[in-house]
């Protein structure tokens, strides 16, 4: 069976660096039969000159050279960013040299001899090193394409979040306009609807303004959402917000935002019925890794946890439903003053 490459196969170009011209000639003849074009360099200067001026598919380095060693060439080439597949040639008693070469960036090594086994092993090592480099290059291209596709998808997703946030803001504005011409009862219902929509809109705003289009950082989200809420409550109510920078998915952030909106709205409506001054506090903490605790508390007149819901009771139903979506629990402990509601859930 012939070792010649199939017709039309591209010639492989190899630079063989060795100060032994006779062995270099034997290598050239043996590898030429396999379609490998071997160029020879006798020392480091010749090798580096050829590497700088020509393209090679692989590099074969002998260890001992007239000035320095093949390791010197290999290290300088790798330090400069050269990634050409490299096979190191060592003597049979130089195992530590082979290990050093592999550590320096060689792809393989071959024990040096003058027999046919040497050229056969060298050819196999060259083929394998080139195939490995081609696979690595293909992987890098695929990774680059995947990153580019992900970046495009995230850019499109950010644009979707932007458009959704704008649309929800428009709906909120329309509800506000409608409320201005409605009765007191209808106006109250529309105002609550605005707050719920604003909580959802805030999630999308956080996603398209942030670096991550998949998760929401809760401290920034709650600060932004409640800053808007602050504008709708009497100046006599002091709003305090303390939140840790937990991250959760967008759909869970929507649930949490609605819970906060409902609790804060209820407190603003019922905690101070005579319009007195007070404090409304929203806290988000992480009492233990992976566990979040949301507390909304006021220092108003207080409420009975077991009593009849004020208003339509829709707010309490929403709070329970959103807490279930978070996989959490709701509790309202008895307090000597005001009302405190806590929602605990896993993140």
- Do 226 and 344 share a domain, yes or no? yes
- Do 227 and 105 share a domain, yes or no? no
Is residue 207, in this structure, part of any structural domain at all?
no
Q: CATH no. for residue 322? A: 3.30.565.10
Domain range enclosing 88: 12-114
- Do 229 and 102 share a domain, yes or no? no
pLDDT, position 233: 83
Decide which of 58 and 170 is more confident. Answer: 58
Is residue 124, in this structure, part of any structural domain at all?
no
- Strand pairing report for 339-346 and 291-298: antiparallel
Is residue 251, in this structure, part of any structural domain at all?
yes
Question: End of a domain among 97, 114, 131?
Answer: 114
Burial class (CB in 10 A: 0-12, 13-18, 19+), 75: middle
- State yes or no: pLDDT of 309 exceeds 70: no
pLDDT, position 125: 95
- Tell which residue, 127, 100, 97, has the closest CA to residue 112: 97
SS (H, E, C) 262-330: HHHHHHHHHCCCCCCCEEEEEEEEEEECCEEEEEEEECCCCCCCCCCCCCCCHHHHHHHHHHHHCCCEE
- State yes or no: pLDDT of 204 exceeds 80: no
Is residue 164, in this structure, part of any structural domain at all?
no
Is residue 180, in this structure, part of any structural domain at all?
no
pLDDT in tens, 277-303: 899 999 999 999 999 999 999 999 988
| Cα separations in angstroms, 134 against 32, 35, 101 | 22, 18, 21
Is residue 127, in this structure, part of any structural domain at all?
no
- State yes or no: pLDDT of 61 exceeds 60: yes
Question: End of a domain among 114, 143, 159?
Answer: 114
- Strand pairing report for 329-331 and 339-346: antiparallel
pLDDT in tens, 105-144: 999 999 988 777 899 999 999 999 999 999 999 999 999 9
Question: End of a domain among 88, 114, 140?
Answer: 114
Residue pointed to by tokens 């303004």: 209
- State the Cα–Cα distance between residues 204 and 69, nearest whole angstrom: 61
Q: Name the domain count of the chain.
A: 2
What length does the chain have? 347
Where residue 242 falls among pLDDT bands split at 50, 70, 90?
Answer: very high
pLDDT, position 311: 57
Is residue 119, in this structure, part of any structural domain at all?
no
Task: Give pTM, 2 decimals.
Answer: 0.55
pLDDT, position 8: 47
Q: CATH no. for residue 34? A: 3.40.50.2300
Is residue 185, in this structure, part of any structural domain at all?
no
């Amino acid at each position: 069976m012939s070792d010649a490459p199939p017709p039309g196969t591209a010639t492989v170009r190899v630079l063989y660096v060795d100060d032994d011209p006779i062995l270099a000639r034997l290598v050239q003849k043996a590898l030429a039969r396999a379609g490998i074009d071997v160029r020879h360099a006798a020392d480091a200067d010749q090798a580096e000159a050829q590497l700088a001026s020509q393209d090679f598919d692989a590099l074969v380095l002998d260890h001992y050279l007239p000035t320095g060693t093949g390791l010197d060439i290999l290290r300088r080439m790798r330090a400069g960013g050269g990634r050409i597949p490299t096979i190191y040639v060592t003597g049979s008693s130089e195992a530590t040299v082979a290990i050093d070469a592999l550590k320096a960036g060689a792809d393989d090594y071959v024990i040096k001899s003058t027999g046919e086994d040497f050229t056969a092993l060298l050819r196999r090592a060259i083929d394998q090193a080139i195939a490995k480099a081609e696979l690595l290059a293909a992987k890098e291209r695929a990774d680059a394409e995947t990153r580019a596709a992900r970046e495009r998808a995230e850019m499109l997703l950010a644009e979707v979040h932007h458009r959704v946030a704008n649309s929800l803001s428009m709906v909120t504005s329309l509800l506000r306009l409608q409320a201005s011409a409605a009765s007191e009862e209808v106006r109250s219902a529309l105002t609550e609807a605005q707050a719920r929509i604003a909580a959802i809109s805030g999630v999308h705003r956080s996603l398209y303004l942030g670096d991550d289009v998949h998760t929401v950082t809760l401290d920034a989200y709650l600060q932004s959402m409640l800053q808007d809420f602050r504008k709708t409550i009497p100046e006599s109510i002091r709003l305090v917000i303390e939140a840790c920078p937990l991250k959760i998915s967008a759909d869970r952030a929507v649930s949490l935002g609605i819970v906060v909106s409902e609790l804060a709205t209820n407190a603003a409506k019922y905690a101070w019925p005579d319009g007195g001054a007070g404090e409304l506090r929203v806290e988000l903490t992480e009492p233990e890794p992976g566990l979040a605790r949301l507390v909304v508390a006021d220092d108003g007149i207080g409420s009975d946890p077991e009593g009849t819901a004020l208003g339509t009771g829709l707010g309490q139903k929403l709070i329970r439903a959103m807490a279930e979506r978070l996989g959490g629990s709701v509790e309202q402990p008895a307090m000597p003053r005001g009302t405190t509601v806590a929602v605990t859930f896993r993140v």
